[in-house]
Amino acid sequence: MASQGDARPTLKTLAEITGLGISTVSQALRDSPAIAEETRRRVQLAAQQAGYRPNRAGVRLRTGRSNVITVILNAQDAGSGFFADFVYGVSSGLAGTAYHLVITPYDYHDQMAPVRYVVETASADGVIISRIMPNDPRVRYMAENGMPFATHGRTEMGICHPYHDYDNEAFAYEAVRQLAARGRRRIALVAPPPDLSYFHHTHAGFERALRDFNLEQFPLATYSTDTPLAEIEAAGRDAARHPHRPDGIVSAATSSAFAFAAGFKNAGLVIAQDFDVATKHSSPMIKIAMPEMIYVEEDFKAAGRDLAELLIKSINGQAAETLQHVVGPANGTAR
Amino acid sequence: MASQGDARPTLKTLAEITGLGISTVSQALRDSPAIAEETRRRVQLAAQQAGYRPNRAGVRLRTGRSNVITVILNAQDAGSGFFADFVYGVSSGLAGTAYHLVITPYDYHDQMAPVRYVVETASADGVIISRIMPNDPRVRYMAENGMPFATHGRTEMGICHPYHDYDNEAFAYEAVRQLAARGRRRIALVAPPPDLSYFHHTHAGFERALRDFNLEQFPLATYSTDTPLAEIEAAGRDAARHPHRPDGIVSAATSSAFAFAAGFKNAGLVIAQDFDVATKHSSPMIKIAMPEMIYVEEDFKAAGRDLAELLIKSINGQAAETLQHVVGPANGTAR
DNA sequence: AGTCGAATTTGAAACGTTGCAAAATCCAAA
DNA sequence: TTTGGATTTTGCAACGTTTCAAATTCGACT
């Protein structure tokens, strides 16, 4: 039982209430300069009293704009803190704007499908994607089809687009630097998946630091942050039993850092004594659970928020060249 | 540059291609029995070739149905693993259906606002909410306004509605049982926020177990799982220095369990030796990081998926009495 | 009083869909 | 052939909005 006036009010309702025409009402609500000041006030008051809310389907049908921003995320990420923080960040970046947030998860094996779907059905005014590759077919596709988008990571394909990226080169360098400062000499890197852009950045920073601090690299098989944790734990155990075992570990993902460290621990070694681990820090819980680790900051919430803002600016016509951020571990927003 | 036929195809386009009327095409695509078998095939083929996708705004405007399910979540939950797992679960429960997933985060202080918004704007066909209270105004409001919904938790207000709930009574009982099995005698409970339904369930199970196993309770100030972690850590340190300090801790949230345990550790005590902690387990990373804890399973992904399915059944007219699940720590789906 | 231009308001059309009543087609029986 | 009933197709209206050209009102100035 609705309290009064059963159906929800439309422009027609307001037109009847005020005795004006429908298009007058429509324009008055959108502050059109063609409408007399007094009329506008009258209409807006009536709208408020009637509890008028524009019908989004009507608007969308007429204007072709959906007022939706969609975040396309790998379902595999769901377990990680990244997913929650990132989504929250985007949603807070969208708060107060006309845009709603829609999550589009996709299955590991087909990353193009959700992008095609969104573009074909025009179900969003803008798209945010993650897990960016240097040559990313999603980026090419959206650019060619005129769908506004922003990426969480950089590409290397000569297409200029809005992005936000974490400076993983600086992260890896800083991680190694801190390990070196604790006297660690043989460092192992649990790298990101090799097809992703930040694999290269991470590697570059890692190697630059090895040179600068004159350290050895412990050559690890290509375990990536996508490998199942049990496998990484096993790799950690193996490495720990190696005659020239590493005494420092760098991992781009908290979960694999934990798993690798667990492997060391299960092999009888003690963290902060026999070895150290440096990884990224995002959730406060992690830090409180494992205070012995070395943490370098990465703020996924801020990344999500920034991407939302960049994307909206891009939709509003701002040039992509001015919508590219790289933020480092220490500083706020650079470049 | 789109490949061909620049604008995206509509029913009109298909009508022109096939030489049929628009409404014939519309019905053919929806398998109406009034349409001749051969016509239907012809239309569906044409639709496929043209890459036709129904315009959602058109459908929505005409039918009044949005094909959207929205999950209204406390922004504070964003940090926790709950958020990611739960959202992922809902999204997987929606996969393959006509429904899209929209996340509506809300600010701590006003839980009614997003619910009112969704109902007033009819922006979803169904709603999923969490952090349920025994007497929950959101439930009453949606029930009164005929908005289909499902809750993650039970209410006590005489309104029959679909829900999925974890059996926190059983959780707390099991947690204490395992502590008792390790010889722990003085148990402290870090309880959920006292206004939420599962506070009562948790307490009931906790107290039943204390009686059954003849244990003492360490009376903890009312720290809840919502308290800042630093504060819980401090509480843990205090409790650890108490002359009759607890030797067992039960927490309904992994993060507060970690924080409390960190407090004990910082007071010089050793987990699994001087004390034990039992909490819930959801993410594999947690378990690998802190294998010394006692974990009782709670599957947020499954909860999300189940809620999506319950809600859709409810929208399709199935009676709410048959859409109420309580799942325990051990078993699969019970009632 | 009449005219002109500016300020303000308005009706009609269109966006893409579905439901319905009406029209068209078909086939078998008379 | 005609009729009648069933089968199949179709045009129209409507959902709520915005845009745009046209209509109306208003003042000020001849």
User: Is B134 in a helix, a strand, or coil?
Assistant: coil
Which sign does the torsion angle of CA B150, B154, B156, B160 carry?
positive
Cα–Cα nearest to A280, from A5, A78, A81: A81
**Segment B89-114, tens digit of pLDDT:** 998 899 889 999 998 888 777 899 99
Percent of residues, chain A, with pLDDT higher than 90: 66
Name which of A23-32, A290-299, A314-323, B211-220 the model is least confident about.
Answer: B211-220
Burial of B193 (0-12, 13-18, 19+ CB in 10 A): middle
Judge whether residue A333 has pLDDT over 50. Answer: no
Cα–Cα nearest to A169, from A148, A189, A143, A195: A189
The mean pLDDT of A120-130, rounded to a whole number, is 95
- Residues near strand C (C-beta below 7 A) are A 19-24, 27, 34-37, 39, 61-62; B 7, 10-12, 22-23, 26-27, 29-30, 52, 54-55, 57-59, 61-63
**Segment A209-250, tens digit of pLDDT:** 999 999 978 777 666 666 788 888 988 898 899 888 999 999
pLDDT score for A79: 59
pLDDT score for B71: 95
Q: Which residues of chain B have pLDDT under 70?
A: 1-6, 76-80, 221-226, 282, 330-335
pLDDT score for A3: 37
pLDDT score for A138: 97
C-alpha torsion angle, residues A172, A174, A180, A181 (rounded to 10): -160
Nucleotides of chain C within 7 Å of a protein C-beta?
7-12, 14-20
> Which nucleotide lies at the shortest CA–C1' distance from B24?
D9
Burial of A320 (0-12, 13-18, 19+ CB in 10 A): middle
Report H helices in chain B: 11-18, 22-29, 37-50, 56-63, 81-94, 112-121, 137-144, 168-181, 197-213, 229-241, 254-266, 284-289, 300-315
pLDDT score for A42: 95
Nearest Cα of chain B lies from the Cα of A214 at a distance, in angstroms, of 31
Q: Which residue has the tokens 């409404």?
A: B23
Q: Which residue has the tokens 């507060």?
A: B256
DSSP A216: E
Percent of residues, chain A, with pLDDT higher than 70: 93
The mean pLDDT of A14-29, rounded to a whole number, is 95
B78·A101 Cβ contact <8 A: no
Q: Give the whole-angstrom CA distance, residue B130 versus residue B151.
A: 6
Residues in chain B: 335
Q: Give the whole-angstrom CA distance, residue A282 versus residue A166.
A: 13
A101·B103 Cβ contact <8 A: yes
Tell me the count of A-B CB pairs closer than 8 A. Answer: 150
Q: Which two tokens stand for residue A145?
A: 């089809």
pLDDT score for A80: 67
**Segment A136-184, tens digit of pLDDT:** 999 999 999 999 999 999 999 999 999 999 999 999 999 999 999 999 9
B120·A290 Cβ contact <8 A: no
Q: Give the whole-angstrom CA distance, residue A167 versus residue A154.
A: 10
Q: How confident is the model at residue A6 (pLDDT cuts 50, 70, 90)?
A: low
CA distances from A164 to A72, A106, A119, A323, B319 (A): 15, 21, 22, 8, 47
pLDDT score for A22: 95
Residues in chain A: 335
Report H helices in chain A: 11-18, 22-29, 37-50, 56-63, 81-94, 112-121, 137-144, 168-181, 197-213, 229-241, 254-266, 284-289, 300-315
B233·A288 Cβ contact <8 A: yes
pLDDT score for A1: 35
- pTM of structure: 0.90
Backbone angles phi, psi at B246, to 5 degrees: -70, 150
Q: Give the whole-angstrom CA distance, residue A281 versus residue B26.
A: 53
Q: What are B261's strand-pairing partners? A: none
Helices A197-213 + A168-181 axis angle, to 10: 30
Name which of A53-57, A279-283, A323-327, B302-306 the model is least confident about.
Answer: A279-283
Judge whether residue A335 has pLDDT over 50. Answer: no
Q: Give the whole-angstrom CA distance, residue B228 versus residue B61.
A: 45
